[in-house]
Amino acid sequence: MFCCLLTIAVISSCARVSEYIIDIRYVPQKHVPQAGSQLQKYSITVTMFTDARTTDNKAVIGERVAGNGRDIVARCAQEEPSAAVAGTLRDFLIRAGYPVTGEIPAWDLQENSINKSWGALVIGGRVEELEVTCNADQPATNYAAKVKLRLVFADVQRGKILHTTTLESTSALKHFRCTREGMQEQINSALSLALEKILDNAELDNALREVGSVRDESLPE
């Protein structure tokens, strides 16, 4: 019995992990003010994002590097990384107090394909960078994550694109070992920091005010 248990322990210790499964989600990085009551009158629809990363395997979002090269890849736990980003944006907006519709429809970012059922404002975009690496081939393990998103804001009822913006962020950490949890923490930190930037300079609020002002002007007195 002892020999059997010892053999199992040895086999388990020698087994290699081939991939890390990363859960993409919003993790608050700073205090986010709640949406004003006037802005809560206008609903927002977040659409599916396009994955514009220059990579052969869109499911891969990172890697652990050790020895002569990559030995463990990191994959998104959700079906697609671009879908995970859209869901994370939607979750962030809900937490910030904005009224968000329940659907995440597809949108090709063209004005003529905007659906009038999407409320007041629609936000779509592209994932241009979404990557986390863990370099374990050093005395200290180095984590690095980077995110770059291109967002498009459009007035739903007018079928008009209001503006586009680029959100970028990075995250880095030195640690004594490389883990799935460490990679997940860094990519979520970078993504969350990037999404929180849409509240900087009142970018989102101004888009909603523009939508609201046009709507109010069109209402009969």
How high is the pLDDT of residue 16? Answer: 54
Residue type present at position 40: Q
Classify 205 as helix, strand or coil. Answer: helix
Model's pTM, two decimal places?
A: 0.87
The closest alpha carbon to 182, from 170, 192, 172, belongs to 172
Whether residue 73 has pLDDT greater than 60: yes
CB-based contact 141:134 (threshold 8 Å) = yes
pLDDT at residue 17 in the model: 63
- Is pLDDT above 60 for 217? no
Do 182 and 173 meet the contact criterion of CB atoms below 8 Å apart?
Answer: yes
Report the share of the chain in percent with pLDDT over 70. Answer: 87
In whole angstroms, give the CA distance from residue 171 to residue 196.
Answer: 14
Give the integer Cα–Cα distance in Å for 11 and 6: 9
pLDDT-above-90 percentage for the chain:
75
CA distance 76 to 215: 40
What is d(CA 154, CA 160) in angstroms, rounded to the nearest whole number?
A: 5
- Domains observed in the chain: 17-218 (3.40.50.10610)
Local confidence band at 214 (pLDDT 50, 70, 90 cut-offs): low
Q: Do the beta carbons of residue 63 and residue 75 sit within 8 Å?
A: no
Tokens 């860094």 sit at which residue? 186
Rounded to whole angstroms, the Cα distance separating 183 from 19 reads 12
pLDDT (tens digit per residue) in 133-185: 999 877 789 999 999 999 999 999 999 999 999 999 999 999 888 999 999 99
For the cut 80, the answer to whether the pLDDT of residue 220 exceeds it is: no
- Dihedral through CA 28, CA 31, CA 36, CA 37, nearest 10? 70
32 or 71, greater pLDDT: 32
User: Measuring CA to CA, how many Å separate 8 from each of 1, 11, 121, 204?
Assistant: 11, 5, 57, 56
Tokens read off for 160: 């008009």
